Amino acid sequence: MPAQETSLPPPPKKHEGILKFGHAQQQEAPDFSGITTDVNTLSRRLRLLEEGFTNLRRFFQVTEENIIAKNKHFSAEIKTLTSDVNEVRKEIQEMKDKLILVIIELQSVARKQEVKVLERYINLWNPIKFVTQNEVEQIINEVLDKKQQ
């Protein structure tokens, strides 16, 4: 505020009274210049206050609109994030289910020790040297033929 507005006008002049005893009645014209200055000053201050309140109302209105817009934006972001989180949860559950299936499958597979035991038996038996029933019959027939000759 300018310095003029903060300074107060001079106080109104004190009148000693309109009627004076012993003298002829004399009416002085009241001095309204101080009152007019006071009214003008108060009017100017009132306009400044009203303008300040108007500016505050605008500021709060803009702030409220910004808050509403941000709230809508954040709500949309939260919905998107919630959707993403739910999707990730579903994928994790699917992975858990598949992992359980793999574990079950692996439990039915032979262990390394079991395979080594089978390998020892196979090497011991040496199935390559096994003969078929037809080969045995043929060998028997050959032996019998040799004996008959």
CB 10 within 8 A of CB 34: yes
Radius of gyration of the chain (CA): 57
In this predicted structure, what is the pLDDT of residue 29? 65
In this predicted structure, what is the pLDDT of residue 30? 67
Average of pLDDT values for 139-148? 91
Per domain, the residue ranges of the chain are: 3-109, 110-149
pLDDT digits (tens, 9 = 90+) for 34-78: 888 999 999 999 999 999 999 999 999 999 999 999 999 999 999
In this predicted structure, what is the pLDDT of residue 123? 86
pLDDT digits (tens, 9 = 90+) for 88-120: 999 999 999 999 999 999 998 889 999 999 999
User: Cα-flanking dihedrals φ and ψ of residue 24, to 5°?
Assistant: -70, 145
Average of pLDDT values for 14-34? 60
